[in-house]
Chains A and B, each alone.
Chain A
């Protein structure tokens, strides 16, 4: 029973709590004991506060009891009592905020991110702090300064990254849902590698206020969940214009779950595109076969499948690493040891505080990207790199928008390979290529989702990526849900 609770969906848990058969405190207790039982092996969490989580759960139960006593709807809030984990780059007042970096070890944030405030308003319980590649830079969570997270399906392998802790926690039953951030695939790729649903919304759909910035023009907060329906519920709670984030867009927030359900009921035949550029060299044959099987499933559903071309795809990785590193070199300048965070103990003057604190505080991948970004923004190189990359970015976006004139969504593999072994990709470039199918979506600012679509013979999960049109998350969720309804990949549990 206790383990079942840990692998139930939000809708299932809500029904139990609505009926009075389950309390939020019981659910939280089950998740806490599951976490204590398995996280020694998974290491999804950087930290969690058991007492605080239980206190939040009891407060949730009291809200529910009060609503019942008042004769109202016992479940007026969509996420009442649901434990949601946080990638350790999203601020929760009074909790640590470390970005898995020595630079922020011990830092406690004094304020709530906008998504945090909205989740609290929706009744959710702010559960623990989840591991990531330092400052969200990486695709394996091996770049964490605090320890490597293991893939629940094979402890020798990585969970993907950078939101590896979030993906692993949901996959291992340590959280009902989790927030992550996606700059180049950091939600979708670990979701694929861990057999969970990972949703990256349209750029501007969710406020970034309170998200530690990696690359501001690419970063977007999204969610890990056990089902497409759960992802819709979480998105509905966190989406919307925020006065604290000028890049958040004033587009109304629909009821995603209801909208997607309406599409399903109407039996809409989706026009789906297959981008040939996403099925080339480097794609693992087993992954290719599983994605092909998923496409066949869509065809069987009556969807219209056609080939689309995204000709500038080959420039995406280069473009991404110029824009993302340029922005990160500036975004990470604030970590200087002056106001907060790590300050070297052996300093002689102000400049020395900068040099030594940053030398000691940042790991090698973060340093590599800061140096790259500083270089591409330098006087004399700006036009050749940054400015040109921005132009290519426009072309990449145009590719997608032209394709969307003919199709409702695009289907691709999420990652070219299943989870790889820890330490296998020591070469940074090999690691970067892991994101080739996901970064175009960030460059174009589009919504994308990864859903489970099978396993390799060795038992490693495979993900299908669905790419949608700007601000059409309802349609994206409906397309993903149509496939999800015909298979049970997502219901499988890793043996721990």
Chain B
């Protein structure tokens, strides 16, 4: 019997807003414990929540980018349960009227090779709703302390349909979702900072069947690779249980990424009754067409759409687009450089190879880079016109990265200008060909190595400042002509 995995993902994404979901205090990561708090966040007696409009803007953008239907009204419910990290002992959330319904996430599966685009498909979404994050428990020896800095941070829950069928698809789904969130400046989705968290509902069924098996909820998938490995191991576990004649009980399991094992956390019988009811402290907020239009005007092009456009309009290789596209800033950088120099392939090479390498070794991000699109475009032009040779160009790039000087400034300062003008090079090459008719005839007869006979005289005439690649190009053109 072969089995098919059926997986639905519940992804929590922290929104990148200045203040918290229901209070004016700032939201952020890495601050000293309990400094991002106020009477509202700490649920002091008498305090009331007030909705953060920026958070609503962000979820509306997420919904628009993912093709969801946006509810005409934002309604809030209370989800009641007791836990020390939940200051009010209820979470303000959305129960029966999520702000977004439907929509889908376009994913790309791994291709047959690194430089070949993989299959694309769409994973349908059930819903996206908005809620508030909880605080954090820090367990010490014999004492647990609560840090409420995270409490009240706007949190979006994105629920997929059970339409994911492998660990690779789940990985691709998360990757694609994260890229869309970053494109919309909706979230930074840094899993290490808890800005993106993922739970998986996993079941198996005989291949070809359309019924759903008993699902197991897998929690604590703390990194992209844990998501992939955790799901793969849970699917194997369920197949082994069923294969041995057993049944999979409905339960919640905790995944340990270090050991690759999971253990049961609670069974179905222990499920909470959250006693949802509409929050009487918050009036429903109307989400009109004008609001949606205003957000729509700010929506960026979707990453896969952009990738298709780079492939089509610029002729950039797939491998390079898959480096440029996941980073919205980097792909914008590329488009600007390509526009300025008119040579997208050359610009893409400089950015995807040299710029990323330099940024990586300097541990800088793109925004901190002194090299801007105009630097790259200028460098491409200098090489094209033969003003510098390609070896010198590498040196110019490294210098620009350190100093931020324009390529022209670097060339002048370091004396890297190719001594040969295009006219001079043309003349020396013509003279060398004219001086050696035998080698010219040999080359035209198909003896490839004969071309080297001309290069020595040309380089001597140029006193070594000619670009060998350009010398080769010019000679071939003359010999062909």
Q: How far is the CA of A306 from the CA of B431 in the complex (A)?
A: 120
Taking CB atoms and an 8 Å cut-off, the chain B residues in 246-286 that contact chain A are: 273, 275-277, 280-283
Tell me whether A210 is interfacial, beta carbon within 8 Å. Answer: yes
| B82 near A354: Cβ-Cβ < 8 Å | yes
Q: How far is the CA of A113 from the CA of B47 in the complex (A)?
A: 9
A208 to chain B, nearest CB (A): 6
Contact segment of B83-91, B230-238, B362-370: B83-91
Tell me whether A104 is interfacial, beta carbon within 8 Å. Answer: yes
Write out the residue numbers on chain A whose beta carbons fall within 8 Å of the beta carbon of B82.
Answer: 333, 336, 351, 354
Nearest residue (CB) in B for A110 is B39
Tell me whether A379 is interfacial, beta carbon within 8 Å. Answer: yes
Tell me whether A99 is interfacial, beta carbon within 8 Å. Answer: yes
Q: How far is the CA of A339 from the CA of B282 in the complex (A)?
A: 24
| B280 near A378: Cβ-Cβ < 8 Å | no
| B42 near A339: Cβ-Cβ < 8 Å | yes
| B48 near A330: Cβ-Cβ < 8 Å | no
A94 to chain B, nearest CB (A): 13
A181 to chain B, nearest CB (A): 10
| B50 near A89: Cβ-Cβ < 8 Å | no
Contact segment of A169-177, A242-250, A251-259: A242-250
Write out the residue numbers on chain B whose beta carbons fall within 8 Å of the beta carbon of A212.
Answer: 45-46
Tell me whether B80 is interfacial, beta carbon within 8 Å. Answer: yes
Interface centre among B46, B80, B82, B88 (most CB of A within 10 A): B46
| B277 near A330: Cβ-Cβ < 8 Å | yes
With A110-B39, A243-B50 in contact, is A377–B45 under 8 Å at CB? no
Interface centre among B45, B83, B88 (most CB of A within 10 A): B45
Tell me whether A46 is interfacial, beta carbon within 8 Å. Answer: no
Q: How far is the CA of A90 from the CA of B46 in the complex (A)?
A: 7
Nearest residue (CB) in A for B49 is A246
Q: How far is the CA of A310 from the CA of B107 in the complex (A)?
A: 60
Write out the residue numbers on chain B whose beta carbons fall within 8 Å of the beta carbon of A113.
Answer: 46
| A111 near B39: Cβ-Cβ < 8 Å | yes
Write out the residue numbers on chain B whose beta carbons fall within 8 Å of the beta carbon of A247.
Answer: 48, 280-283
Tell me whether A292 is interfacial, beta carbon within 8 Å. Answer: no
Q: Which of B45, B78, B275 contacts A99 (CB 8 A)?
A: B45
Identify whether the interface residues of B are mostly helix, strand, loop, or mixed: loop
Q: How far is the CA of A480 from the CA of B449 in the complex (A)?
A: 113
B180 to chain A, nearest CB (A): 31
Q: How far is the CA of A338 from the CA of B82 in the complex (A)?
A: 11
Write out the residue numbers on chain B whose beta carbons fall within 8 Å of the beta carbon of A97.
Answer: 45-46
Q: How far is the CA of A204 from the CA of B49 in the complex (A)?
A: 15
Taking CB atoms and an 8 Å cut-off, the chain B residues in 46-84 that contact chain A are: 46-51, 78, 80, 82-84
Nearest residue (CB) in B for A375 is B275
Tell me whether B450 is interfacial, beta carbon within 8 Å. Answer: no
B281 to chain A, nearest CB (A): 5
Tell me whether B44 is interfacial, beta carbon within 8 Å. Answer: yes
Write out the residue numbers on chain A whose beta carbons fall within 8 Å of the beta carbon of B276.
Answer: 377, 382
Taking CB atoms and an 8 Å cut-off, the chain A residues in 200-219 that contact chain B are: 208-213, 215-217
Tell me whether A386 is interfacial, beta carbon within 8 Å. Answer: yes
| B45 near A109: Cβ-Cβ < 8 Å | yes
Q: How far is the CA of A335 from the CA of B50 in the complex (A)?
A: 21
| A350 near B144: Cβ-Cβ < 8 Å | yes
Write out the residue numbers on chain B whose beta carbons fall within 8 Å of the beta carbon of A23.
Answer: none
Tell me whether A366 is interfacial, beta carbon within 8 Å. Answer: no
Write out the residue numbers on chain A whose beta carbons fall within 8 Å of the beta carbon of B49.
Answer: 246
Q: How far is the CA of A377 from the CA of B279 in the complex (A)?
A: 13
Q: How far is the CA of A299 from the CA of B146 in the complex (A)?
A: 64
With A111-B39, A327-B280 in contact, is A379–B275 under 8 Å at CB? yes
| B46 near A91: Cβ-Cβ < 8 Å | yes
Nearest residue (CB) in B for A248 is B48
| A334 near B89: Cβ-Cβ < 8 Å | yes
Write out the residue numbers on chain B whose beta carbons fall within 8 Å of the beta carbon of A334.
Answer: 43, 45, 87-89
Q: How far is the CA of A212 from the CA of B88 in the complex (A)?
A: 13
B97 to chain A, nearest CB (A): 14
Write out the residue numbers on chain B whose beta carbons fall within 8 Å of the beta carbon of A354.
Answer: 82
Tell me whether A326 is interfacial, beta carbon within 8 Å. Answer: yes
| B46 near A330: Cβ-Cβ < 8 Å | no
Tell me whether A33 is interfacial, beta carbon within 8 Å. Answer: no
With A377-B275, A378-B273 in contact, is A109–B281 under 8 Å at CB? no
Write out the residue numbers on chain B whose beta carbons fall within 8 Å of the beta carbon of A353.
Answer: 84
Q: Which of B48, B90, B280 contacts A217 (CB 8 A)?
A: B280
Nearest residue (CB) in B for A358 is B82
Q: Which of A111, A216, A244, A386 contacts B44 (CB 8 A)?
A: A111
Interface string of A353-374 (1 = CB under 8 A from B): 1100000000000000000001
| B46 near A245: Cβ-Cβ < 8 Å | no
With A109-B44, A340-B44, A350-B144 in contact, is A246–B282 under 8 Å at CB? yes
A317 to chain B, nearest CB (A): 20
Which bracket fits the contact residues of A? Answer: 35 or more
Nearest residue (CB) in A for B279 is A216
With A333-B89, A336-B89, A350-B144 in contact, is A216–B45 under 8 Å at CB? no
Nearest residue (CB) in B for A209 is B48
Tell me whether A107 is interfacial, beta carbon within 8 Å. Answer: yes
- B residues contacting the other copy or chain, number (CB 8 A): 30
A397 to chain B, nearest CB (A): 15
With A107-B45, A212-B45 in contact, is A330–B51 under 8 Å at CB? no
With A246-B51, A334-B88, A374-B275 in contact, is A110–B44 under 8 Å at CB? yes
| B80 near A333: Cβ-Cβ < 8 Å | yes
Nearest residue (CB) in A for B83 is A350
Write out the residue numbers on chain B whose beta carbons fall within 8 Å of the beta carbon of A210.
Answer: 46-47
| A209 near B51: Cβ-Cβ < 8 Å | no
| A338 near B46: Cβ-Cβ < 8 Å | no
Nearest residue (CB) in B for A103 is B45
With A216-B281, A354-B82 in contact, is A209–B46 under 8 Å at CB? yes
B395 to chain A, nearest CB (A): 59
| B43 near A339: Cβ-Cβ < 8 Å | yes
Write out the residue numbers on chain B whose beta carbons fall within 8 Å of the beta carbon of A245.
Answer: 48, 50
Write out the residue numbers on chain A whose beta carbons fall within 8 Å of the beta carbon of B46.
Answer: 89-91, 97, 109, 113, 209-213
Interface string of A434-453 (1 = CB under 8 A from B): 00000000000000000000
| B45 near A244: Cβ-Cβ < 8 Å | no
Write out the residue numbers on chain B whose beta carbons fall within 8 Å of the beta carbon of A329.
Answer: 80, 275
B130 to chain A, nearest CB (A): 15
Q: How far is the CA of A33 from the CA of B329 in the complex (A)?
A: 72
With A90-B46, A334-B87, A334-B88 in contact, is A386–B277 under 8 Å at CB? yes
Write out the residue numbers on chain B whose beta carbons fall within 8 Å of the beta carbon of A90.
Answer: 46
Q: How far is the CA of A374 from the CA of B86 in the complex (A)?
A: 18
A456 to chain B, nearest CB (A): 37
Q: How far is the CA of A174 from the CA of B32 in the complex (A)?
A: 46
Write out the residue numbers on chain B whose beta carbons fall within 8 Å of the beta carbon of A374.
Answer: 275
Q: Which of A327, A333, A351, A378 contacts B88 (CB 8 A)?
A: A333
| A330 near B80: Cβ-Cβ < 8 Å | yes
| B84 near A244: Cβ-Cβ < 8 Å | no
A126 to chain B, nearest CB (A): 15
Q: Which of B47, B87, B283 contacts A209 (CB 8 A)?
A: B47
| A338 near B146: Cβ-Cβ < 8 Å | yes
Q: How far is the CA of A464 from the CA of B146 in the complex (A)?
A: 51
Write out the residue numbers on chain A whose beta carbons fall within 8 Å of the beta carbon of B283.
Answer: 246-247
Taking CB atoms and an 8 Å cut-off, the chain B residues in 278-297 that contact chain A are: 280-283
Q: How far is the CA of A386 from the CA of B144 in the complex (A)?
A: 37
Q: How far is the CA of A91 from the CA of B47 in the complex (A)?
A: 10
Nearest residue (CB) in B for A208 is B48
Q: How far is the CA of A210 from the CA of B82 in the complex (A)?
A: 23
Nearest residue (CB) in A for B23 is A244
With A110-B39, A246-B281, A246-B282 in contact, is A333–B48 under 8 Å at CB? no
B20 to chain A, nearest CB (A): 14
With A246-B281, A247-B281, A336-B82 in contact, is A330–B90 under 8 Å at CB? yes
A-B contact pairs, 8 of them (CB 8 A): A110-B39, A244-B50, A330-B277, A340-B44, A374-B275, A377-B277, A382-B275, A386-B277
Beyond A244-B48, A245-B48, A351-B82, 11 additional pairs, beta carbon < 8 A: A109-B46, A210-B46, A246-B51, A247-B283, A333-B88, A333-B89, A334-B43, A334-B88, A335-B45, A338-B84, A353-B84
